Structure 1
Amino acid sequence: MGSAVWLFLLVVSVHIYIIAAATNPDDASALRSLMGEWKNLPSNWGSGDPCDDQWVGIECSDTRVISLKLPNMKLEGRLTGDVFSLSELQELDLSYNEGITGSLPSAIGNLKKLIKLVLVGCRFFGPIPDTIGSLPQLRDLSLNSNGFTGSIPRSIGNLSNLYWLDLADNQLDGEIPVSDGPTTPGLDWLINTKHFHFGKNQLSGPIPSKLFSSEMTLIHLLFESNRFSGALPSTLGLVNTLEVIRFDNNSLNGELPSNLNNLTSVHDLFLSNNELTGPLPNLTGMSSLNTLYFSNNSFNSTDVPSWFPTLSSLTTLVMEDTQLTGQIPASFLNLPQLETVILKHNDLNGTLDIGPGVSNQLETIDLQGNFITDFNDTGGPYTFKLILVDNPVCPTRAANTYCTLPPPDSVPLYSTVPMNCQPYSCSSGQISSPMCRCAYPYSGTLQFRGLFFSDLRNRTPFESFEQNLTQFFKMPEFPVDSVSLKNPRMDPYQYLLLDLELFPYSQDRFNRSAVSKIASAFSSQDYKPPDMYFGPYVFGGDPYEYFSDVAAHSSKSSTGITIGAAAGASVLFVLLVFAGIYAYRQRKRAQRATLESNPFAHWDPKKSSGSIPQLKGARCFSFEELKKYTHNFSDANDIGSGGFGKVYRGTLSTGELVAIKRAQQGSMQGGLEFKTEIELLSRVHHKNVVSLLGFCFERGEQMLIYEYVPNGSLSDSLSGKSGIRLDWSRRLKIAIGAARGVAYLHELANPPIIHRDIKSDNILLDELLNAKVADFGLSKLMSDGEKSHVSTQVKGTMGYLDPEYYMSQQLTEKSDVYSFGVLMLEIVTSRRPIERGKYIVREVRMSMDKSKSLYNLQQILDQSIGFGTSSKGLERFVDLAMRCVEESGADRPTMGEVVKEIEDIMQMSGMNPNAESAASSATYEDAAKGTDIHPYSDESFTYSGAFPVSVTKIQPH
């Protein structure tokens, strides 16, 4: 009788345990079975419940497993049937695990809810199963960098939701499958797919004309380094969404279709190393073309095409051995973006004329092996590399440097520099980070398959990329402190390779969860590089040897031990487990309740760690610290006041000056909102954006601590209040800095940020008069569901406010562009947007006459600019400003385009847009003496977040 009672209790207890578990029993069983098949699983697998105890790489919705992501875990094993019983699985990512091998089972077709299948850089082999086409919701299919063989399954054409298709770098063969009648699918059915990445395989046969149609929305078409033959079909010219086209390193022949000219969005066109014949097509319409590779083909002998100088965006032209004849027009070398021209081994002749208008972006002109007889360099001297070896001109000018091959480059290419600190000499395999902290970074190689520049010595693209990476990995889910880039180089496939290191935050190494999240951001293409410089990429993660986790499971024995231990457990132990689970869940409920009432409840401000809040670059100050730094918030340090409270100057123990904004009790917002705002501001890091250094949230106080910007606002300088005189070059320098700050918010912040209050009062000037965008009180985030606009109550400052936004209440990034256009007019006129009832936009528009000098605006422009050669580019600056204030947002440029245009204006004026200001404001004429102008001294300074109302008058101190 006693045994029967114990057995009954055991059965009841086990059933209670199953009911209490957070994970569906079938899903939990499948995951535990994997533990017997895969080696090197994370150490918390097998401990507790997969969903409730958050096994590394597992994401759940309610009780079901919806995501299994374990990239770069050094896993070993095969993809077995256990995975395919996870019927609710939406994401499967096992990338960068070279120990994962074998074939891809046909059972993959059972995962009907799969959205992402990402198996990059494993060692799968054999054919891709035809069942891959029975996954109706699949959007991302990345099987690149494996050893798959056989043909591309035509069933992939059934994947109507497919966005990303990457089968590159395998051993696939056969022809590209296209549909055959209404029931037999092919890749031509993929009209919603943006990416066809098939490079570096053994695909052959002609490119089917049926593959392309005007319905397709392809962006990247990468067919390079295969065995394709035949002519390029004219249907390619129907896909006008294309941006990158690569057919290089194949055996294509015949003439190029003339309608390539219709592809006005193409940035990169690679057709080198084929057997193409016939005339060169006229590409005048390809106004976006950055990179053109036509080398080693058999085009008809022809003079240098007259349409070359029309390619205004061209940075790179490579046409070796293409039968080109005639003389290079000087106007071609004047293209403003041109960096590299390689026309080796052609039949070019006559005089090479390089006039004074040559592009100042030029890095290389390589014309060796032609028939050039003379060289006219009246516009010299030049800084670019010119190579005329093996031309008739050289025997007569043998002493010139251009008649000898240049030595290999000795100047190191881009490498991330330390952030104003001295690198440590680290030991035990550690590396000093950009923040000068020794740690074990997670590393890998980025391979860019398309590239919109060619000068690898140009730091601007890499600096932009570095900022973009840093911003992305500052998001709370990534415990990344800093990123480092180095060793950019081109491989034989004309891919840019770039080494990347990511350093851990607040410790010297990553755990498995962190590496999994970082690697998945690359393998799933969640991270996007800045598209103004970089095209499609693939990442290869290096094995990580320094996980901070406890040793992982390594064999099937762990499963056996677990089963044996469970079988031998006593009834009392089972009951205790149940009691423990109940207590654990009650504790979690209590923690959630506490978190809702106090968002900082579980956060240790001394360590800046923990899950709440997630801060990068901002620290928590105690009330006592700030009291000390401001001398007890003394009146002597009071530099501003308003409805939100006061602004104080503080001096940290390091001697650094800061601005401390202290909210009064009447303006307090909720703790959760305050935490959210701090998290937002702490992620914003750019040299042209004012930095949040920290905050205080104790004793009922809410305070934000910013960097101290000494030269006040742009408004102060334009009005003469600061005593700093601004000539044209200084105004351009301020304009480019402000534009870059706003462009960063729009294009590099993740998610993007609309400022909503761009004005001269919110552009602050540091000691070198570098511009910094300030005041995020009215800012709005653009979430994934708000890509086009945000419906919101209209806020901003009259005079700068976008009329389209005002009328429709539809906020877009173009609303900031309008405000920036008004700011540009303010920069050239030194007038407030609305002054004595006159609106500056209307005044300029009514007075403009482009047929006259300075557009007939002499009476409106600020006379202190000085007209003439010292104000070169002024008319073009006004043109840009007026484009920014077009009535329709669709007619305005993006902020990225504004930045590019101002850079061009600066170069046209003989300025280096990337140089720091040459002198501090103290050296400028008429600089204010004895006056400490503070950035927050504007009467209309607004804050709708922690400090929601206006700052009023500030007295100098």
Structure 2
Amino acid sequence: MLGVRAGVCIFALSYCCFVLLAVAETTSPSEVTALRAVKRRLIDPVKNIRNWGKGDPCTSKWKGVVCYAKNTTDGYLHVNELMLLKMNLSGTLAPELGQLSHLEIIDFLWNDLSGSIPKEIGSIAPLRLLLLSGNRLSGSLPDELGYLSHLDRLQIDENHISGPVPKSFANLSSIKHLHMNNNSLSGRIPSELSNASTLRHLLFDNNNLAGYLPPELSNLPELRILQLDNNNFSGAEIPISYGKLSNLVKLSLRNCSLQGAVPDFSKIANLSYLDLSLNQLTGPIPSNKLSDNMTTIDLSGNHLNGSIPESFSDLPRLQKLLLENNLLSGSVPTGIWQNRSFSTSARLTVDLQNNLFSNITGDLNPPANVTLWLQGNPICSNANILNIHLFCGSESGGEENPESSTNSTDNCRIQECLTDNDFFEYVPASPIPCFCASPLRVGYRLKSPSFSYFIPEESPFEKYVTSALNMELYQLHIDSFFWEEGPRLRMHFKLFPTYNNHTFNTSEVLRIRGIFASWHFPSNDFFGPYELLSFPLLGPYSGIDSATHGTSLSVGIWVAISLGAIACAIAISVIVTLLIVRRHSKYKNTVSRRRLSSTISMKIDGVRDFTYKEMAVATDNFNDSTQVGQGGYGRVYKGILSDNTVVAIKRAQEGSLQGQKEFLTEIQLLSRVHHRNLVSLIGYCDEEGEQMLVYEFMPNGTLRDWLSAKSKTLIFSTRLRIALGSAKGILYLHTEAQPPIFHRDIKASNILLDSKFTAKVADFGLSRLAPDLEDEGAVPNHVSTIVKGTPGYLDPEYFLTRKLTDKSDVYSLGVVFLEILTGMQPISHGKNIVREVNMSHQLGMVFSIIDNKMGSYPSECVERFLALALRCCHDKPEDRPSMLDVVRELENILRMMPETETQFSESASHSGKSLSLPSSSYVNRDLYSISNASGSDLVSGAIPTITPR
């Protein structure tokens, strides 16, 4: 065994000598200097080093980085492609990038880079792709980027870029894709962009852009996708000229504070997706017939009046017609669904809630494929309409849930599928029944698709992908998909080798990855631009070096390498024994830790025991694109199990001093507590020196996410239900768990929201069991413990005395209630939320600090909720209510709520829509609006509604 290890070490280290001796005569000296500067700026958090290896950074082994070079007439290799593949590198971008004058591709997607974008990049004349999405870059966009006349794709989305969009971008004469969504860009959209005549996809959504919408954009002859959602073009109108964008496929202007009328888009032949929701648009909906390709029309949350155009009854591919929260009237046209023949996979949602519809044309009997919402219309009180009650309640026909393609291999389970290798599986659609192969796994996202339901489009999508990869249809299997905010469609699929091979060969793996990574997919505007999120090389592919160079070295260099290898091998043999001893020692430590883990695992019942391999597959080998959170314990990943269950996987950081204790605590607690308002533990992984906890996945994230978000909000009734659910979960821990449990770390980021916005309390890593009975049979009222928790949420009494009680959790939950009401952080800029709210309350100015994103709310309900929150945050524990009293008071407040608002909250929760409603439209129709709160209203007991300032 030692001889084998020695041989492996000699071979590996000899290879390093190959690389080192090939340095001097490859990449040009100036580019070597520039590359070294780039390397010095990058940090690998795993190894915590800034510089990898020695010698020529492009021809030596540069971990986590692909550096391609090509020959030129001057005898040197010149770098033409630079990619970061580790997905977790931090550091900054070096200005020396500008010295790599032959670069065509800079691909630094999905890392953790910070700092600004160097203006020197603008001097790289051949640059075609500048891909910086998914980092933490800040600062403004350099004007110099406008000098890149060959630039085809500029992606800076999901960073922290601020400032204006440079007018110089009008000079990008080859640009097709400008993806700048999810940043903090401000100012106006430059009208000069209309000079970029090749532009196809313009994604500026989720920024702080203002001003007017440039009518000049209608002069872009190739524009297919225009997505500007969640900006603030306050008072601006949609230019009529946008109806002349003849090649447009998708127009999305959601939540942009737009006014005026809806333009006529009937002349756009290929328009498939139109979203103008959550604006202040007025007037009727244009009656001219839209394109037959229309899948989605969303005009909800405006002030539109008139009737639904008859032309909407002649749209054969329509998937969603969303007109809720307007002032539309007349009859509901049943022809919208009666004039269509539905395929098995086709779906149609028609949402007409909260309008003024009083009648219906025809019989109310939509097919099973149709989901119809009529709640909040006068028609719902018409008892003469048969079955009307079925469409006026709060039950949802359902959004599209994560699904998977059907699997035809169920009958193969009695056979073996190369069980000696866990990464082989049956090919679901193979022409040969029960054929077994090892797939390539791909994480993939459609950034701006022009449809709302994927299942009807799944077959065309499969043909699109396999055609682009030059593969057969049976080689592709879509494992799962789910919609993300945007809306964007994320999916995981597998690519299988042909039926006469069990694995792909190396060249085929690199060919397939190259097509994805080089953006060589043929354009398909209906599916929109895509992102490759992960391409893990697992199982038989784990040894493939994805950083294989695209160049070959001269014979003379190979001779030098060979001679150098012999010399290195002799030198290395001297130190091989030391390395083996060190490796053996490390192996013993690992085995010891595994034995300990195995002992621990055997003691835990009631939850699933996952293997490390199952966790790796579920998360695309823990790819950073699947990470959804991080805390002191470790990282949290979104994973998909083999049965397509979506889960959250909390992975302990290596070397965590308290990880072992918290790991045991959380499993022991969660394995025996079960309540609808507590996050459920599905299982754990305790092998390979790893500790992971697997929970049910909460698709709507944390309460803190929603309170902090700029583009989404929660109405008051929903916030009240979240507060009640959280309190019920804590009450269960205090009174029904045996023995009782003190949570000790209640905070907004530990309250998760499921698909129906049901609150679930999470993270029991710091929880403590209540004390056992004393000798006299009494229960002590506290636990003495080292103070732990989160600043801003800590009970002052607990902090001073170290005595943890149930009232400590009451205090923390009270702080959460104050966050729910104000949107403030517990501690911000030196201000404490409890002190600030108390001061405002004493001055009679409490409504001035209520979260202005909450919309309209009943003032008496808010006042009672606020009073409860302040009682929970009292300095003295004995003056705080018990958790049972908290639950009862919240239930009383909820019963006081106007029925219309609680119904809206429930229906929005069931449908999965954003729980927001434009304040202006809500107030206009609200029976309890403050503008309608006359003296007689107050005397009669009506609760006035206040719109926050």
Q: Smaller-chain TM-score range?
A: 0.3 to 0.5
TM-score, structure 2 normalization: 0.48
TM-score, structure 1 normalization: 0.47
Between structures 1 and 2, the one with greater helix share: 2
